[in-house]
Structure 1
């Protein structure tokens, strides 16, 4: 995979019938849903059927299981993600026929055009912060359009076309496609080294985020985390460009300062300025995400009282420390964490929760995502997993990548600093291994961006036998 090249926005009313290659993905299905809501005819294909495809069919989309050139039909525009290879028969047919081919971010930019758009960027926390901001705006009556790289627990949706003038979108830096956007406002939660299969080094990551800030419309709003030195630096550059820049975080000089963080079961309380905020999701990192959402909404002119109430009612996004169930005193959670910083944040939040319960072990089940990320961060993954009491490491979920010789989940297992770790290469054996070691009071977390998410129900089923 490599960085995509930004293109000019094509107005949505000029797209004609749109065909999605890989329409069942979280991001692609969300864009398709919004297009259908606006009356744009949509078709699409995916490797397998799913609930998301079924939902799109009910909304009027024509969907196919499997890829074939004839599925493109009479489409005028074909939308692809970076994961779609040039050899895909539908993409090849679109190229041969000279159809308009758009990256999914360019298609999303078409839908954002003409709205007061807010793009949420950062190495970590994008999905949760976008979700929090969306829910807060909904509660305030703003009815925003939104497109999130995950699903809200409350609605099960990751995208919708609202009646208001605001459009909130998660901005993905992994392939540089967030440079397709020209938002009126933006959030940068943090900037760390990641996706080094695309970026030559961290310097290139920082440079690309700087280019993202340059894409904010003149006179626009930029909200950055004061606790992250690189994000703070992008804010300083935004100030030089004449943007309205607001900082948030625990730093003493933050414009919206997060203070007094106190865990409360699966939630927390903290203050921002004179206001006490309550959350129903755990972790200091989520308090910071909520502060970013609060600051942005208030700066956009939304009632602070309504935003605070909306955040209090936020129950999470799917796979963000999502409770899956409890059997015999053993609780199971699922986490999308796939970067060392994310693992550490979720495990610290879980430790706070376990402490509230009076103690117990944390059992982390981790599936590394991508061979390249495993190669670059094996030591850091191991260090983060050391925060758990028991660790089971699965083999690498390859996603879009081909194997790298010598790179397996065992590299991560060997880097865990304590001896209570097992490397289990057989994915079918993991649920049984976890159930065998679980004891009342334990909290089990399945972690990773791959199919590790399927394990939670299996573990709960085994615990109940």
Structure 2
């Protein structure tokens, strides 16, 4: 296996092309930077904010400039930017004036997907975890994959991996350009109504338009492996040259049977068209993680990998960053951080939390005004099974406020529904103080959301270590 080295990458030859990546501190763009650099391309980038990700890139020998400046494009061969970057951005204007190729982020991913045997993971939920699991299972089976992941995979110490085998990539539907791409094997986890509506550059106008894009990606790919448990998904795969399915449903090509959940995860039996491949285990709670692991084992099987070492690798897998990430303890309570931010993800995370048998205490940060406007009743309902819920203010993510849309919509609906343990608590210092005073053995504290709520989990766990 050829993991990306922790030591700085040596300078590429002067003859290699120079790629400059805007927003290089993003979880996806930083993975592009690592993959390009590992292939001998000269890479630089810029971002508004320094972060752990940008610091890691610098340690790997990739030049990172803070803030944006038209001067960054001097001597650059290719400028990579997402569709979210305004067309009149000074760096884009300067690049076009200088004759520098401006390449969309998704076009770059498309090149990587077509350069070798490839697996593209699509869907509204579970892409990061499923992509990570596929890469980990393939690595366990000695298929030596390359990987592009929207999260840090502990086994690789990175969000990217360079190998000689198939290329496994998370394909994000929030970038409309994904619909023009294809791959050898499309893994289709689910399809819902996220990233729809509003005036965001990367959002879809309607859910029908978004789902048509899923169908287009699948139809352009060599084959699709779709989740048979998700209603309506098979209908979106009608254009695929070859269709395979996975799930618990009868008739699925790859099935997870005899699920045996416990406080730490779930053991289950895997079959392929009725033939038992073996016993597997996922060390993350929740039925959704059984399905993610099943997809990973199915893909590994499709590429000729041995089941047993792949299953063993998954049994040891503890999840990518911010996906049921065990952060530490506080007064004997387990502290977990999770990226769940829309109703389906939140419901799955709460179900996973309840599987542990602990008292479930959630700190939830709604994400975006538009998303909250579209889904606050469903968010409230998804949180109802938790024993206690502390609601923070909405993470704006650069969106302007929408009149009447506030985090208390969630807490008020839960209270009206009979939940006695929900509170709107926007003062983060008070949240930390309260949990430090009340956390105890048998508790599970989950910080949940796509904003910066993760910082609270670190602060709580750090208090235990202090």
- Per the TM superposition, whether the score is higher than 0.5 is yes
CA contact (8 A) 2:141 2:307 kept: no
1:306 and 2:309 equivalent?
yes
Asked if structure 2 preserves the Cα contact closer than 8 Å seen for 1:47 and 1:66, the reply is yes
Please say if residues 262 and 268 of structure 1, whose CA atoms lie closer than 8 Å, have aligned partners that are also in contact.
yes
Deviation of the 1:366 alpha carbon: 0.8
- Could you say which residue in structure 1 is the equivalent of 2:7? none
Equivalent in the alignment of 1:123: 124
Judged with a 3 Å threshold, the aligned counterparts in structure 2 of structure 1 residues 426 and 180 are, in CA distance, closer, same or farther, namely farther
Aligned to 1:10: none
Residue 279 of structure 1: CA displacement? 1.6
Cα displacement string for residues 58-77 of structure 1 (whole angstroms, at most 9, x for unaligned residues): 33322111111112221121
Provide the TM-score with structure 2 as the length reference.
Answer: 0.90
**In the aligned structure 2, how far is the partner of 1:432 from the partner of 1:94?**
50
Q: 1:429 to 1:80 in 2, by over 3 A?
A: farther
Indicate yes or no: 2:188 matched with 1:183: no
- Aligned partners of 1:50 and 1:433: how far apart in 2? 29
| Alignment-derived partner of residue 25 in structure 2 | 24
Change (3 A) 1:285 1:66: same
Checking the alignment, whether the CA contact within 8 Å between 1:371 and 1:403 is kept in structure 2 is yes
- Which of 188, 207, 212 is the aligned partner of 1:207? 212
Unaligned runs of 5+ residues in structure 2 are: 1-14, 198-202
Paired residue secondary structure (2:183): coil
Q: How many residues align?
A: 439
How far off is 1:234 after superposition?
2.4
Determine the C-alpha separation between the residues in 1 that align with 2:462 and 2:163: 39
- What residue in structure 2 maps to residue 34 of structure 1? 35
Q: Distance in 2 between matches of 1:265 and 1:134?
A: 25
Do the aligned partners of 1:21 and 1:91 also contact (CA within 8 Å) in 2? no
For residues 136-191 of structure 1, give each alpha carbon's deviation from its aligned partner in whole angstroms, at most 9, with x where no partner exists.
11111111111001111223211122122x10000111232322422011100111
Deviation of the 1:34 alpha carbon: 0.6
Counterpart of 2:332 in structure 1 is 329
| TM-score (structure 1 length as normaliser) | 0.90
Secondary structure (helix, strand or coil) at the match of 2:356 reads: helix
Provide runs of 4+ in structure 1 moved above 6 Å: none
Distance change in 2, residues 1:15/1:249 (3 Å): farther
Consecutive unaligned residues of structure 1, counting only runs of 5 or more, are 1-13, 355-359
Task: Return the offset for 1:463.
Answer: 5.6
Structure 1 residue 195 and structure 2 residue 195: aligned? Answer: yes
- In structure 2, distance between residues paired with 1:40 and 1:430: 46
Q: In 2, distance between residues paired with 1:454 and 1:77?
A: 35
- Secondary structure of 1:337 counterpart: coil
| Match of residue 260, structure 1, among 258, 261, 265 | 258
* CA contact 1:121–1:171 (8 Å) conserved in 2: yes
Q: Measure the CA separation in 1 of the matches of 2:247 and 2:410.
A: 31
- The Cα shift of 1:398 comes to 1.7
Cα shift at 1:106: 1.3
